[in-house]
Chains A and B, each alone.
Chain A
Amino acid sequence: MSDRKKLLDEIRQLEFATVDLNLYLDNFPDNKRALSDYNMFTNQLMCLKSEYEDKFGILTNFGYSESQFPWTWINEPWPWESGE
């Protein structure tokens, strides 16, 4: 498995955990354990995303990530092509 795919899989796993906890927290905002898990996974996710974006190009645009030169947002393949 390539470094890129491995890193993206880890990002996807962490992001899945944050999405799922996010939905739970919408209904149970005073659950301390869920909130602490959410914050912990968010922290790890931000680190991995920044590592990925430095190596392989930005995942988000509109001011959410700084791009290397030249502008990496338009790099192919796009997700539906790579399936990633």
Chain B
Amino acid sequence: MWIYEKKLQYPVKIKTKDIQMAKYLSAQYGGPDGELSAAVRYLNQRYTMPSGRTKGLLTDIGTEELAHVEIIASMIYQLLKDATIDELKKAGLASHYTQHGRAPFPQDANGVPWTSAYIQATGDPITDLHEDMAAEQKARTTYEHLITLTDDPDVIDVLKFLWAREIVHFQRFGEALVHVQDSMDTKRCF
């Protein structure tokens, strides 16, 4: 069961029109290393995790990722809602407008729709946790790229919050990985 809380985890107050940024931000909505991929990846992998700790951690990080999906979608919504047709054209969003109007849509920065091919679940906790750690690093890098693409402080502020969460999640997945490896008590040779 999930409960929706009618508030954002971190406030989104975009005052300046930076319409092109909406296109780039889509990378973290429906892109391969975006928040939707993260949420579906963890919430799907949790079923075959080996312990209460790892089942809990994947459930909880997956749930927090859903809150991040909402933050990114809110940014895109606010950036697009008052954009004129000319502004949309100039920002390279005419093709988005053709298919989706001013609605946020889970696709990457080039308009490629989200697909579960972006994620994996192997049923092997060691493999899955390695994927999760890599995913957090890829998302961190994407946030760093996005931050360099804008000088709007309202956008940067939210991106920095999301960036920092990637680092915390990476740390938590790393601890979980060590715990799973220790409890399997297997010799590791590299």
Contacts and interface: CB of A to CB of B under 8 A. Distances in A.
Interface of A: 8-9, 11-12, 15-16, 19-20, 22-24, 26-29, 58-62, 64, 73, 78-81, 83-84
Contacts of B74: 79-80, 83
B173 to A, nearest CB: 9
A8 B10 CA distance: 11
A11 B3 contact: no
B179 interface: yes
Q: Which 4 A-B pairs have the closest CB atoms?
A: A80-B74, A26-B57, A26-B56, A83-B13
Contacts of A73: 6
B70 A60 contact: no
Given A12-B9, A20-B168, A80-B77, 17 more contacts: A16-B9, A19-B60, A23-B60, A23-B64, A23-B168, A26-B60, A27-B53, A58-B6, A60-B6, A61-B3, A64-B3, A73-B6, A79-B8, A79-B70, A80-B12, A83-B13, A83-B74
Contacts, number: 73
A84 to B, nearest CB: 6
Interface bin, chain B: 20 to 34
Nearest to B12: A83
A73 B3 CA distance: 13
A61 B3 CA distance: 7
| Majority-rule SS of B interface residues | helix
Contact of A27 (B3, B7, B13, B179): B179
Contact of A80 (B9, B60, B78, B176): B78
B70 to A, nearest CB: 7
Contacts of B13: 83
B190 interface: no
B172 A24 contact: yes
B66 interface: no
Nearest to B158: A83
Contacts of B5: 59-60
B53 A26 contact: yes
Nearest to B67: A19
Contacts of A60: 3-6
A80 B10 contact: no
Given A23-B168, A27-B179, A83-B74, A78 B57 contact: no
